[in-house]
Amino acid sequence: MDCIFCKIAAGEIPSDILYQDEGVVAFRDINPQAPTHVLIIPKKHIAALTDLSEAGMSVVGEMARVANQLARAEGIAERGYRVVINCGQQGGQLVPHLHMHLLGGRQLSETLG
């Protein structure tokens, strides 16, 4: 499949990987919007949040666990951070492989778009 995040998860495209386990991979965003900007993805190709099945829903919990762990590792847990999942065109999702953004290290905007 021609999916950039599947290729990153498979190690076929280089990225700055911070964490991986059997189900989840986390790597730095190539175009960071904040001092810490990490993407957390399921290894399995799921196009968007809306495509998650009841059975597959638990991967979002795994992604949130990794976000919290990396926020501590990045030193932003105390000051606070934001996690975002864009879904679909009007949600601003550009890469059609489910991902969670972890953003922090500066005061983030009070508006969400």
Residue type (1 letter), 4:
I
Nearer of residues 55 and 94 to ligand 5GP, judged by Cβ: 94
Nearer of residues 4 and 60 to ligand 5GP, judged by Cβ: 4
Is 3 near Zn ion (CB under 5 A)?
yes
Residue 45 binds which entry of ligand 5GP, Zn ion, none, with Cβ cut-offs from 5 to 8 Å by kind? Zn ion
Can you tell me the distance from the alpha carbon of 75 to that of 37, in angstroms, rounded to the nearest whole number? Answer: 13
Which contiguous run of DSSP H or E holds residue 103? strand 100-104
Is 97 near Zn ion (CB under 5 A)?
yes
SS (H, E, C) 31-93: CCCCCEEEEEEECCCCCCHHHCCCCCCHHHHHHHHHHHHHHHHHCCCCCCEEEECCCCCCCCC
Residues that bind ligand 5GP (CB under 6 A): 4, 15, 27-31, 39, 86, 92-95
37 is catalytic: no
Residue 97 binds which entry of ligand 5GP, Zn ion, none, with Cβ cut-offs from 5 to 8 Å by kind? Zn ion
Query: Which amino acids are annotated catalytic?
Result: 99
